[in-house]
Structures are given as C-alpha cells and as structure tokens.
Amino acid sequence: MRDNTSKLYLWATQKANSTKAPLWICLLFVLEIFLFIPLDAILMFFCLQNPRKTFLYVLLAAFASTISATIGYLIGHFLWDMISSYTVPYLISTSTFNRIANHFQLYENWAVFIGTLLPFPLKALSLLGGVFHLKLIPCISCVLTARLLRFGVVGGSMLLWGAKVKTFLDRHFQKVLALIGVKVAIAVVFFWAISR
C-alpha cells in the first residue's frame, strides 16, 4: 500500500512539475462533471509544486470548472426528460427532489452561487440549474464567480502557508490520501442517505 502511495505521489509530482501542468489542471477540472475527485486538494498540490503559477492555476481551474458546469447545465436542460425516470426515485427520492425544486425556485441563482462556494457537488448543482431552467448566462456567471472566490482562497492559502503544507505532505501523503478517501466516502453516504 505504501509503495503504491509513493508511486502515486511521484506521478502527481511529475505531472504538477511538467510543462503540461496547465493542461492537466484544465483536463481534471473539466472532468469534474463525470468524476468524484477532490479538486481543492488537486489545486493545492499543483500550487505547492509551482507557486509562481498559482494565479494561472486558479484561473484555469475556475474556467475549466465552469465549462464542466455548463455541460451539466445543458444535460439537465435538454436531457432531463430522458434521464429523469432513472434518477427519481432511484437515485433521489421524490420528496427530496421536490424539496430541492422548491429551493431552486425560491433562490434560483443564489442557490447555485452558495452551493458552488461550499463543498457541494458541482455536477448536481449545474444539472439542477438546467433541470429547473435557470437562465444560462446568470447561472454560469454565478458558478464562475464562486469558483474564482473559492479557488482564489485555496491558491492564496498556498502562497501564505505553502512551505509548511508541502513539508507536511511530503511526510504524510499516505495519511492525507486516506483522509480524502474517507471524506469522499462520507459525502457519498451522506447524499445517499438524504436522498432516501
């Protein structure tokens, strides 16, 4: 296990230090719509490896994440009628879906903005934005603004405390990876539980 973790750490370090690091950032953050990956942790790691490109990484991450949200919005807007029967009530209960619908109708783009600032799955927010036919430009603008704020805080924190964080990661990468795995598992169980 430790050997595999070391290989993963070495692989991630090589990608973060390569000349194609900006492309990796864009790819990972666009794939957010399909994957459950800890994006804040990825951004932190890339910023730690290359502090001089922190602001570039923040901008790329925010714009790529917004592209991902746009894809989610379009899927919800145009394909919901086709996929809804597979989603409600199998992945989310009808009562939970109706409760979410009420929140979106009441708060509209504010719900998207606040949800995007918080560690709430962007794929769900953007999909719901499309499902409930929020206006595309305001909805995506809220995503972009919230992502710039959130990722800006992550990048700024790495500039302030990056050396200490990097030393900690170098020593305890395996434990951090385990904690991220636990966090993802808890999030999946939590959202599954509230959807029942």
54 or 17, higher pLDDT: 54
* pLDDT reported for residue 97: 73
When pLDDT is averaged across residues 9-34 and rounded to a whole number, the result is 86
In this structure, are residues 30 and 123 in contact, taking their beta carbons and an 8 Å threshold? no
**Count: domains in the chain:** 1
Instruction: Report the distance separating Cα 69 and Cα 8, nearest Å.
Output: 28
> Tokens 């209960």 — which residue?
93
What would the pLDDT profile of 33-46 be if each residue is shown by its tens digit? 888 777 888 888 88
What would the pLDDT profile of 111-149 be if each residue is shown by its tens digit? 889 889 887 788 888 988 998 889 999 999 999 999 999
Q: Which H or E run contains 179?
A: helix 136-194
What would the pLDDT profile of 154-178 be if each residue is shown by its tens digit? 999 989 887 787 777 767 666 666 6
What residues make up the domain containing 165? 2-31+38-194
Q: For the chain, what is the mean pLDDT?
A: 81
Q: Which pTM value belongs to this model?
A: 0.79
